Structure 1
């Protein structure tokens, strides 16, 4: 019988492999049947994931994977940038065993990039950052990064990331090469660039100071032409042989006609 930890770990792995989409419902009964356990254990697993910011719950929908807003997406990448750059900055030396472990991970990454298993490829690309934290000797940050990587994977799916897997793998290679040479300053700079390139590939709208910007854009007139003056309307209608509609400056009337 599966434990709550087993269930939460499987859900995290499925997210990182892009096998579960943002907003996917996680039914307690279905999970209990799948993992051959009680709903109490499932609820414990989901509660842990909710505390880690991966799932959420509502009285109407039940448990489901988060669907981060654009602001939450930016915050998640900023958090990863601070954590991963800080992790490298606090490192003094990287031993040979750690480099070997990282290179073994890169070997699996390269093979997955060339292969057809998209889920494995996605998981390994994200898990590199977890592996890096473990190799640099910080298991606490490794757990934190696992959650943030799962979250940014959901963000990448939600906002249709165009980031190339081969490019991401190559950037990982460059980071490890800098660590192997002991050039931690370069490794930190490469990590900053890497996270930035992943974030830049998301289809996020630029932040706006106008809270109604999106609604304003959606409800703008379909024609780019400026509204005609009363005289222009009179002339246009006279030429077409129709009577002019009564003038009304009420914008709500205009929207009602438009919609």
Structure 2
């Protein structure tokens, strides 16, 4: 893979995992080419790879944009994560001490981010736990698969999760690591399955994305001085941003 293509791909995926890019965000080829100092051909190659990974889509009208998973796709993504991540723990014969130490350090970083109110770091660390776990157990292929799935479920949470449950998720991670440290991988696998199911259960899959969310924010009274009529709100997901105008 071309290094420039890899850098674009990695930057976009990392931003999604950190919650900095919302579902539906348009990814303009020319803007990305300017940003990374590469040709639009290189950008297109990166976008095509992200498309095969289920992270972006392309249309004649919108160009490239970050996927907006449907409720059915959300269910499928969480089901797939349960199968893979529970299965991973069920097949590990033993967890080396250095892996346990790294995971415990990661959970401590989660707790610190939660206590400090660092929302960006917190979101990134909570999603990264699952990727770090697969990587620490030495399965590179599963690490890549889990990373892509985690990116999709991050987008799903941004669309359908009405409340933050960061502290509860971190406690779940702590319990999973404790079970691994006790060499009870059967318990660890069960806790992982329950954890992923709990995150899915916290989603409101009946929520409908609000196509006027961006306009609502632009026209909200807080953006003006003086008396401005209020704009009605509904259950919305983070509005879509864009890396520039249409190419």
C-alpha distance in structure 2 between counterparts of 1:54 and 1:161, whole Å: 22
Please state whether the residue corresponding to 2:38 is helix, strand or coil. Answer: coil
- Alignment match, 1:73: 74
C-alpha distance in structure 2 between counterparts of 1:92 and 1:45, whole Å: 37
Is 1:22 aligned to 2:27, yes or no?
no
TM-score, structure 2 normalization: 0.81
C-alpha distance in structure 2 between counterparts of 1:3 and 1:202, whole Å: 36
- CA deviation after TM superposition for structure 1 residue 2, in Å: 6.4
List gaps (5 residues or longer) in structure 2: 209-247
Q: Which moved more, 1:109-118 or 1:28-37?
A: 109-118
Is 1:199 aligned to 2:200, yes or no?
yes
C-alpha distance in structure 2 between counterparts of 1:76 and 1:166, whole Å: 22
- Note if contact 1:17-1:118 (Cα within 8 Å) is conserved in structure 2: no
- Alignment match, 2:139: 138
Is 1:166 aligned to 2:185, yes or no?
no
Is 1:44 aligned to 2:45, yes or no?
yes
List gaps (5 residues or longer) in structure 1: 207-213, 215-259
- Note if contact 1:7-1:35 (Cα within 8 Å) is conserved in structure 2: yes
- Alignment match, 2:106: 105
- CA deviation after TM superposition for structure 1 residue 158, in Å: 0.8
Please state whether the residue corresponding to 1:56 is helix, strand or coil. Answer: strand
Q: Which moved more, 1:113-122 or 1:150-159?
A: 113-122
C-alpha distance in structure 2 between counterparts of 1:122 and 1:178, whole Å: 23
Is 1:149 aligned to 2:150, yes or no?
yes
C-alpha distance in structure 2 between counterparts of 1:51 and 1:97, whole Å: 34
Please state whether the residue corresponding to 1:102 is helix, strand or coil. Answer: helix
C-alpha distance in structure 1 between counterparts of 2:74 and 2:93, whole Å: 31
- 128 and 161 in structure 1: CA distance in 2 versus 1, 3 angstrom threshold: farther
Q: Which has the higher contact order (CA 8 A, sep 6+)?
A: 2
- CA deviation after TM superposition for structure 1 residue 21, in Å: 0.6
Q: Deviations over 1:26-58 (max 9, x none)?
A: 000111111121111111111110000000001
State the number of aligned residues.
Answer: 207
Please state whether the residue corresponding to 2:94 is helix, strand or coil. Answer: coil
- Alignment match, 1:123: 124
- Alignment match, 2:191: 190
Larger Rg: 1
Please state whether the residue corresponding to 2:64 is helix, strand or coil. Answer: strand
- Alignment match, 1:60: 61
Please state whether the residue corresponding to 1:63 is helix, strand or coil. Answer: strand
- Note if contact 1:163-1:198 (Cα within 8 Å) is conserved in structure 2: no
CA RMSD of aligned residues (A): 1.6
C-alpha distance in structure 2 between counterparts of 1:146 and 1:180, whole Å: 24
Q: Which moved more, 1:101-110 or 1:178-187?
A: 101-110
C-alpha distance in structure 2 between counterparts of 1:149 and 1:103, whole Å: 20
- Note if contact 1:2-1:36 (Cα within 8 Å) is conserved in structure 2: no
Give the 4+ runs in structure 1 shifted more than 6 A.
Answer: none
